[in-house]
Every structure is written in C-alpha cells, then in structure tokens.
Chains A and B, each alone.
Chain A
Amino acid sequence: MTTAVALPGTLSLGLARGAIELREFFRQKENLIFTVSLPAILMLLLGTVYVTEPAHGQMFAASMIGAGIISTSFVGLGMSVVADREDGTLKRLRGTPMPFTSYFLGKIILVFVSSLFEAVLLLVVAMLRFDVQLPSTAEKWFTFGWVFVLGVISCSLLGVALSSIAKSTRNAAGVLNLPYIVLQFLSGVFLMQSALPESLRVTGSIFPLKWVCQGFRSVFALNDGYAVMEAAGSWELGRIALVLGAWTIAGLVLVNRTFKWSNTAS
C-alpha cells in the first residue's frame, strides 16, 4: 500500500525541525543566559586579568570563541537530546513519519545559529572592552568559516553520542561538562598549551577543542608570527582539518551505534 501523496522530504523536515528547535531554544531564558551569554561574560571577567596588551586580547577572544562553540555543540546539544528523551519529544517523534536525519539536521541548525549568536556577542564584548580587531582578509574569514563548521558538526555528533550514556538531564550535566571543563585546561583556552607537561598536552591534542581554538587563533592573531606560541610552533591548518574531519566520521559512527530513542526501549 502506498499513500497517494508523497511524505515530505528529509531536508524540508530538517528545516522545519530547525525552526521549531530555535523557537523553543530562544523562549527558554536559561539558554539565553547560560549558553549564549556565558562565554561573553567569562571573556569580560577573565579578560580583565589576562589581557594586558592587545595581542593577548586577540588570542584570548579567539580561544573563547572556540570554547563557546564547543559549549553550545557538545554540552548544549548533548543536554538537549537528553532532555528530549526525558520529556517525551523523542518518543513522540519516533511515532511519526519524521526521519531521524531530519531530527539531527534540526539540532545542527540550532547549534549553528546559537553558536553564531554567542560568537557575535562575545566579539562585540571583546571589541568594545578590549579593542579586539576582526580579521581583515577574506582568507582569514574563510579559515574562520571552515573551522567553525567542522568544529560545530564534529562536537555536535560527539555530544549526541555521549548523551546516550546519561539517563537524566541531571547526570547529563556531569557527563558532558566534566570532559568539557577538563579539556578547556588541556586545549589552550585558559593556559597556553606550551605551558603544560607533555602528557597533558598530548591528551588535549587528541580532542577537537584544541584544534578549533588553534584555528581561531590563526584567524585572530595580529600576524602569523604568533604561531610560534602554539605547541607545534605553527598553525597546522591542514592538521586541524584532518583531526576535525576524523572526529566527524568517528562521531557519525558513534551516533549510529549508540543512539537511543528512549531510556527504556530495548
């Protein structure tokens, strides 16, 4: 038996999901405060201590943008999938003809838009308070673009994969925040990676956060001479693409294997 009219396409349903996700996201005030504004607030507070000359402001703002988008994608998205499992959203969706890919597209749209909001807010704060300058060449903006996209997609997939471990939003906060906070220290957000012992540096370099931040530092550095401050002494753009690409593939495989529609079904 077939229906007379074809079911709506996966892409158009993904866009519809994205629109409804965004509407729900921006109606929850705690999202606006914690997810969207927190990196800007941290920039303001920590920047007061860290930023003693303009070059520091550039580097710190770049790292904070990196940390911010990982926060919205990895932590924020992971939490929202756990909440969808808890409040019945996923169970309801599974009973409809909406494909899983559309659900995930909607989540990615949510993360892109909220990350963008958050990055813009942070940059505005950094520009007004610490005189941070925006990159001036198309090449730098191009790098910004692909690092942003790959960072968001790889970390979104990892967030969704880890969300299957957490049974409730309460323990999800721990499952997702712990690796995120530890990685911020190991990935050159708060301290330069070159200041860390080798074992910690290597550990940090396995995960996406370091590479996203390094990519953004290459974009915001006043000149390429600052690359010597990186652990490898260069921006390693090729390697950034490679590592983030690998995590994207690993994330896809993990989501495919571990995704659960509900906490009970087996």
Chain B
Amino acid sequence: MMTHTTSSEPVTPDAKSDRAITPETAGADRGNIKQNKVRRTGAPGEKLNILGGLGGWLWLAVIILPIYYIVITSFRTSEDLRANNQLLPSTNPTIAPFIKVLQNDFLHYFTNSVIVTLATVAVVLSASVMAAYYITRSTTLGGKRLFQIILLGIAIPVQATIIPVYYLIQQLGLYDTLWALILPQIAFAIPLSVLIIVNFVRDIPAELFESMKVDGAGEWRILTSLVLPMAKPALMTVGIYQALQVWNSFLFPLVLTQSSEVRVLPLSLWEYSGQFGIDVPATLAAVVLSALPLLVAYIFARRHIVAGLTAGFGK
C-alpha cells in the first residue's frame, strides 16, 4: 500500500519543498499557528459528516471513560469504592487519598523526575543541535558516515540494551544514582533528535551561512544567531517529545535504581500500588497527581505543545 501511494502522487511532484519553511516564517511560532488556523477553514469535511462525527464522539468516550474513572475514584475511600458502583461518583467525596499520597514522599519523587527530565532534555538539545549543525555543514565523508551511524541508532530498540547498560552503569559506579537514568537516556534520545533537527537545519539556504561567514561570524555565532532560531520548531518538538519519553520512562529506573532516594515518578506509582494495596483510590490519586504538572502545562501552553510536538515530525 505504501508503494502504491508513492507512485500515485499526481498533484504536486515535490510536496516536500512545498512545505519548506522560509527564513521569514521560521522561528516565528505565532505566525505558524495563525497560518494553521487560517488553513483550517476549508479542510476536508466541510459538509456535515455524520459518520465522522459519530466516530469522533465514540473515540471521545473511549478516551474519557478511564480518565473519568481515575478522577472519581481518587476522591473516595476504599470502603466507598467497594460498597458502591465504581462508575458513579461518590456521594461523599474526600481528599484523603491525595493527602495520603503527599504524605508518602510524592514531592520527593516528583523532584527527582523533574531533575532527570530537565537534565536529560537540556543535554540532548545542546548536543543534538551541535551535531546537526556539524552534519549539515560538513563537507567531509566523516560527517556523512556519522549521520548514517546516528540514524542507525533510531532503529535500536532501547529496551534491548538494558542488560549491557546495567553492566556499564554498575561498572562506572553510577548504579542507584540519578546519573544512571540521565546518561543512557541522553544517548538514546540523540538519534531521533539529530534527525529532526538536521531536517530543519538543512533547509537553511547555504547563502545565509556564506554571508554570515563573510561578515566574519564564528561557528558559535552562526550556531546561536542563525541555526538556533531557524531550528526552533525542531527544538520544540525534540524538547517536548523527549521530555515526555524521559518523564514516563519505567524500564531504566526499574533496573538501574533501587532506593527511594532516587525514585522517579513512574516507579513510585508502581511502588505505591503495592504499598497501598487495597487502597486503590490512593493509588489512583497518585496517578492523578503525577499527571497534574503535565495537565497544567497543557492548559497553559496547549497550542505550543501540540504545534511543537508535531512540527519536527511533519518534515
């Protein structure tokens, strides 16, 4: 089917160049978003589409039911949960489950997650943008080979390397530290990040680089005042995407850390569920609390997150 679609492409022979971001629009996110908005008027399905609408509402139900269940359950006691219908909200709501979670070091685990996520994403962004710049501008075979090797990395199933990573971390004496989570996750985030950023940096017209060089700009200046602004949508994408990956990662913390000192949120949820046992509401309250920071971010920066998450992949 994919080969078929590739051959039947009658309308624009080069759809890709059609969407190339010009220097004027790139970097100006607001401009992009407005553009999308304008485009929305007139997207397919202008006429009433009953089937589409039905499907849309059905999927909404599928999405919402579990979330509704998490929320109503987190506001009741476990006795209440057992005695009443699980799908109806409690007539006697309580915030006790949340208090229980907060009393069980939730904020500590939260802080660990924030540290790990921020550190990982910061290093991934700087290392990837530097590498992407090098790869795009390099005229040697080395740059090309490097890109190929890094691309290979995208196809490596991260999970599959957990055993040697465990051995390595153990030998480096980093076992059961936050570094054990940060360092490997940086490494595995780099390939996709470099690919996405390269796709943007590549579209910067060569003349812009040349004219900056002529003006006597050094590598750093070119990087900060040309590459960075042009690659901003890609950086947003990489930042948000990798932050979500790291924030949610479970296998690395499961294998590479032990103590509650360095426990991160996903692992803490799992521990809570065992520790709270029958108190399902408390476990689900922890689930709600763990999603809360992302929800707040989503409410206040929804457009940026949604646009940023997809901008880099669209290329």
A, B co-complexed: no
Query: B interface vs A, CB < 8 Å?
Result: none
Query: A interface vs B, CB < 8 Å?
Result: none
